[in-house]
Structure 1
Amino acid sequence: MAFANLQKVLISDSLDPCCWKILQDGGLQVAEKQNLSEKELTAELQDCEGLIICSATKTTADVINMAEKLQVVGRAGTGVDNVDLEAATRKGVLVMNTSNGNSLSAAELTCGMIMCLATQIPQATASRKDGRWEQKKFMGTELSGKTLGILGLGRIGREVATLIQSFGMKGLILFPGLSLRLFIHN
């Protein structure tokens, strides 16, 4: 599908300013309005061929059907659960996402959470904020030498598998084809 007549794009969620600049440098007119009601979003889309969303904007069937010029919806992030795909398909509106955009960030967050759980950082922090110093209670466990099981080897699971090796974990049990789940074994 060619977008030769794509002229104006609406950014309806908070995105990095570089997104606006990239679109403008590509010759597009860019409007940026956030926190729109469904009615306001529909009104803003009347002269737009493209819509860029993140998580906040819900692109319902009503929005898609009422936006007469709409050709493409771009989701800055993984998933398109906030876009009515059936309505978009019926109308010939292309829906895309940036599925690799946050894979590394998600994997790093996962590794950080693994470290927090293994060393009981949240519990120790809460205890300390309550004025207690319970050092022996929150000794935690070291990750080095442990085995990490990863159920699901999509983009994020593979990235976690790579990053977690730096903690000296001795082996990875990998189960492709499932949603990402983790477990640690001694």
Structure 2
Amino acid sequence: MLITPRSFGKYDDEPFRIMKVRGVKIVENETGSVLSERQMIDRVADVDGIIAGVDPLNEEVLKHAKNLRAIAKYGVGTDNIDLGYCKKHGIAVSITKNANRNAVADYTFALMLNVARRVTEINNGCKQGDWSKKVALDVFGKKLGVIGLGAIGRGVIHRAEGFDMQIYGYDVFHDDVFVEDNQVRFTDVETIFKECDFITLHVPLIPSTENLVNAEMLSKAKKNLVIVNAARGGIINDDDLYNALKNKQIFGAGLDVFQTKDPQHSKLLQLPNCIVGSHTAASSQGAVNSMSLRAVSNLMRDLNSSVEQEDNVAV
């Protein structure tokens, strides 16, 4: 079995103990970084199962994995996995649905507060000798638009209740009970951009959501808008967001993901009103433990082990 996520089992050795009891031979990612296509090809030849992070599992990699029967995604996003190839060749793909929902919802709200109150900017200024007052935005009682009302989006809404925020929501599915119980104004994306003070994104990266946030949509926004994306980078057009932030068309952004695969050279890093993360929203100890255990259970299940655990199956 190949395990690529660097944080897998880092805070609890139970996932490793489960596999040891079942006689699983483990191949770990010893590089300390995300594996390249070439590195994946070199490691997949003999494995029958993979616990995968964001490393490439495209057709070029998968065609070298002649014995592969199951992939357990360590997380929920499967855009790095060729699902069509897996389906065609009978490779089961599972995700660890909801394992990191609280961690990502926490981080999303932290980014939102950070940008609005200019926490990082003030911190950096003080450490450089600038102790001036910097006027920030209020959060309490403001309008929050949540695009994507899955587990993480709902978690953000529950946190916003403590700030007495007015909630606007959009999803391709309409859950009447949740919307009514949580007093969510269910509407479309354009209305959210026109009326909300804060917007958080919680949708998958699929053709209909790619570049969802673009120059046209940002042109409809309030000048004091704060937008947060801890979902997938391609949902926002980075160039359009850069222009909106640089020209003070909107107030600020919090990003844990980027459109480019090489974010260290992104122009967005130059802007004080853009707070960034290293795709780290799910990196809490509790989330790591939960994702590790679920990934192992999913993989053992799909490899016809006796471990049983219900979870979403991607293929």
Measured against the shorter chain, the TM-score band is 0.7 to 0.9
More displaced stretch, 120-129 vs 100-109: 120-129
CA contact under 8 A between 1:13 and 1:34: conserved in structure 2? no
CA distance in 1, matches of 2:29, 2:118: 42
Pick closer, same or farther for the CA change 1:173–1:37 going to 2, 3 Å. Answer: closer
CA contact under 8 A between 2:5 and 2:74: conserved in structure 1? no
TM-score (norm 2): 0.49
CA contact under 8 A between 1:11 and 1:34: conserved in structure 2? no
How far 1:47 sits from its partner (Å)? 2.8
TM-score (norm 1): 0.78
Structure 1: unaligned runs, 5 residues or longer: 1-8
Can you list the C-alpha shifts for 1:15-60, whole angstroms capped at 9, x where unaligned? 33243333334443322234455455334333321011112x2112
1:148 to 2:144 alignment: yes
Residue 54 of structure 1 corresponds to 53
Residue 5 of structure 2 corresponds to 13
Residue 66 of structure 1 corresponds to 64
Pick closer, same or farther for the CA change 1:62–1:152 going to 2, 3 Å. Answer: closer
Residue 166 of structure 2 corresponds to 171
RMSD: 2.7
Can you list the C-alpha shifts for 1:81-128, whole angstroms capped at 9, x where unaligned? 111222222211111221322221111011111111221212212321
Residue 3 of structure 1 corresponds to none
Query: Which structure has the larger Rg?
Result: 1
- Paired residues in the alignment total 173
Greater strand content: 1
Q: 1:66-145 alignment to 2 at 5 Å?
A: 66-135=64-133, 138-145=134-141
How far 1:165 sits from its partner (Å)? 1.3
Percent identity, aligned pairs only, is 25
CA distance in 1, matches of 2:143, 2:85: 45
Greater relative contact order: 1 or 2 (C-alpha under 8 angstroms, separation 6 or more)?
2
